[in-house]
Amino acid sequence: MLLCIVGILIMGRVERVCEMAGYVFGIDVGGTTVKLGLFDLHGMVVDKWEIPTRTENNGEMILPDIANSIKVKMAEKSIVKEDVAGVGVGVPGPVDGYGIVHRAVNLGWNMFNLKENLTTLLDGMRVECGNDANVAALGEMWKGGGQGHKSLVAVTLGTGVGGGIIINGEIVTGATGAGGEIGHIHVEDNETEPCNCGNPGCLEQYASATGITRLANRALKASDKDSVLRSGEVSAKAVFDAVKAGDGLAIEVACAFGEYLGKGLGVIAGVVNPEIFVIGGGVSKAGEILFDYIKPPFERTVFHGCKDAKFALATLGNDAGIYGAARMVLN
Amino acid sequence: MLLCIVGILIMGRVERVCEMAGYVFGIDVGGTTVKLGLFDLHGMVVDKWEIPTRTENNGEMILPDIANSIKVKMAEKSIVKEDVAGVGVGVPGPVDGYGIVHRAVNLGWNMFNLKENLTTLLDGMRVECGNDANVAALGEMWKGGGQGHKSLVAVTLGTGVGGGIIINGEIVTGATGAGGEIGHIHVEDNETEPCNCGNPGCLEQYASATGITRLANRALKASDKDSVLRSGEVSAKAVFDAVKAGDGLAIEVACAFGEYLGKGLGVIAGVVNPEIFVIGGGVSKAGEILFDYIKPPFERTVFHGCKDAKFALATLGNDAGIYGAARMVLN
């Protein structure tokens, strides 16, 4: 009986919030710009805009700038505090379950309580915050490539490899805010160069845009095979363009990339057994062809009980962060 | 305000359950015996006993036997239905979030709704169920080596390698009930023999009791070094006894075991960032010396943000399952 009451109250939460407040802000704090979104409670974008990220003096103006921009927008749209269910914020660094940022190097931030600070700057408005990659995963689950699923691993193949894990609709924050840091799982014992994190052999060294470029340069050096990659700039985009054109050496590089990423995702599947992997970031612009290289090593090595995980491309692009940040408030 | 009410109701749940009902049953269904425990709501054992697991005819008598044994115990202790908060059950196979067993080979069970069936047999008493390794992890968190933690990975080094992952006090069941199947994460590309699951190169092939024996036999064959392992039976226990006696070849085997397990746990830490790893199963009887071999490769390869994970030995032994099963009801 008691549980029923709790259940009904929780189930009714979003609807009740709808009655009480009609908007939610989603904020994605990047090293250069802060993306801001104003959403209705169904996830429709009412407005979105950007402000510069002022990182000087340990980023002390970033939160005041955000608070100010929110207040200006509210005034512009004649939205009062009572109309706002809350403000969600994604930041590039570990954030624990209490809203404490442990460090955000790109913003100049050391450890502090973001949730409390921003709540104060916003005169008591509700604030939720999380790591940007985790928050983006929530965005893709809500309105992107992972729609309809509750257990999802989002993989962002950009300059680095980011990850976000959602289990039963909740972000896996981790004990020290480092849950889903899948770019730094160890996948190669014989690597001689260190990753940006300091360790040699991280997934990021082979599956990021930078990693694919590195694999391509190594392949070009190790073989004298003809390849379109020998003329022009070597990049992840160039590699997958060449793969589509049937370039043999580029296909070898794609296979090497796929071996690392496919086996890595197989391990992740064995740990959290997600319904779906959602692949985003710059590299994912290559499209579904990526799956031709990721899936075979995944299927070959993954535990049979976890084999049914789906693969999809992310669809929200750079907006995943503001969507997920907004969604955090509605959780 | 609404959230506060929900919070208070949830926080108060265990206390309210205490007022309403004084007992909970924890059941651990194994291939040979079913372990049963009667607990008070603080986790004190009131009684524990075993019945045989009758696996004939696709294990059709297992649930009726359990229901009957519970009813007999209740009569014996003069416990009425209203005194029982519920019955938790751990089974050796994947169980999804709806209480559906997907398969339990050792019991002869195919897919069916365990939760519904047992509830009916128990005249409507509340039933919760889960995979035995996951349930044992919950037991170790509640009353064992992981006490005081909310995010934990339990690793059982027995005949195979089992795993259970708890995030924020909740079992990670996974999309198809295969969450925490860490024995079957792929850790070796150059393995020629298949694991029991069919894939070659699973963690279980190197970190289980069987795996350690296999590593030892390989080492004995590959070298002509003197070793106490050359006389007597080669087993995981013999290996770690020899390690403690300073046997050079046994130490090499322990290092190989530690490399696989330490790096594997490093990857798992990068995915879910737990507070603590709790190591149990027969192999863990070797004691803290295991950590001397697991920790260095863990620390060398894990992402720095996940480095602080603690390591502890499991303390509940074969009772972890009944504790965890009981705990499920109080969640």
Best of B11, B103, B173, B272 to substitute, by most chain A Cβ atoms within 10 angstroms, is B272
Query: pLDDT tens-digit profile of B160-186?
Result: 999 999 998 888 988 888 899 999 999
Q: What is the pLDDT of residue A15?
A: 45
Of the ranges A113-122, A193-202, A257-266, B165-174, which one carries the lowest mean pLDDT score?
A: B165-174
CB contact under 8 A, A272 and B268: no
**DSSP three-state, residue B226:** coil
pLDDT mean over A105-128 = 95
Tell me the pLDDT of chain B averaged across its residues: 92
Specify the higher pLDDT residue, B206 or A104: B206
Specify the higher pLDDT residue, A95 or B63: B63
Three-state SS for B19-49 is HHCCEEEEEEECCCEEEEEEEECCCCEEEEE
Contacts of B92 in chain A (CB under 8 A): none
- Percent share of chain B, pLDDT over 70: 94
Question: How far is Cα A58 from Cα B143, in angstroms, rounded to an integer?
Answer: 44
CB contact under 8 A, A97 and B301: no
Give the pLDDT band (50/70/90) at residue A4.
Answer: very low
The answer for A 189-208 residues in CB contact with B (under 8 A) is 197-199, 201-202
Strand locations in A92-240, DSSP E?
100-101, 112-113, 127-131, 152-157, 161-167, 170-171
B124 in contact with chain A, both atoms CB, cutoff 8 A:
no
Closest CA to B157 of B136, B186, B188: B136
Question: How far is Cα A313 from Cα A296, in angstroms, rounded to an integer?
Answer: 17
Q: What is the pLDDT of residue B20?
A: 56
Residue B15 has pLDDT above 70, yes or no: no
pLDDT mean over B101-119 = 92
Q: What is the pLDDT of residue A275?
A: 97
- Closest-CA distance of chain B to residue A61, Å: 26
Best of B16, B151, B267, B307 to substitute, by most chain A Cβ atoms within 10 angstroms, is B267
CB contact under 8 A, B178 and A9: no
Q: What is the pLDDT of residue B159?
A: 87
Residue A19 has pLDDT above 70, yes or no: no
Query: pLDDT tens-digit profile of A133-174?
Result: 999 999 999 999 999 999 999 999 998 999 999 998 888 988
- Asked if this assembly's ipTM is beyond 0.90, the reply is no
The answer for B 258-297 residues in CB contact with A (under 8 A) is 263, 266-268, 270-275
Residue A6 has pLDDT above 60, yes or no: no
Nearest CA in chain B to A196: B303
- Closest-CA distance of chain B to residue A183, Å: 8
Query: pLDDT tens-digit profile of B222-271?
Result: 999 999 999 989 999 999 999 999 999 999 999 999 999 999 999 999 99
CB contact under 8 A, A267 and B186: yes
CB contact under 8 A, B174 and A274: yes
- Closest-CA distance of chain A to residue B145, Å: 17
CB B163 within 8 A of CB B182: yes
Question: How far is Cα B161 from Cα B138, in angstroms, rounded to an integer?
Answer: 17
Closest CA to A280 of A271, A290, A295, A272: A290
The predicted model scores a pTM of: 0.87
The beta-carbon neighbor of A272 closest among B179, B301, B303 is: B179
Q: What is the pLDDT of residue B9?
A: 46
Residue B104 has pLDDT above 90, yes or no: no
Closest CA to A278 of A161, A169, A154, A183: A154
Q: What is the pLDDT of residue A20?
A: 56
CB A174 within 8 A of CB A166: no
Query: pLDDT tens-digit profile of A235-290?
Result: 999 999 999 999 999 999 999 999 999 999 999 999 999 999 999 999 999 999 99
Question: How far is Cα A276 from Cα A228, in angstroms, rounded to an integer?
Answer: 34
Best of B186, B199, B311 to substitute, by most chain A Cβ atoms within 10 angstroms, is B186
CB A216 within 8 A of CB A247: no
φ, ψ of residue B267 to 5 degrees: the values are -65, -45
**For B195, which DSSP code?**
P
CB A99 within 8 A of CB A113: yes
Nearest CA in chain A to B15: A2
- Percent share of chain A, pLDDT over 70: 94
Question: How far is Cα A301 from Cα A270, in angstroms, rounded to an integer?
Answer: 10
Closest CA to A3 of B85, B128, B168, B9: B9
- Closest-CA distance of chain B to residue A111, Å: 14
Query: pLDDT tens-digit profile of B301-327?
Result: 999 989 999 999 999 999 999 999 999
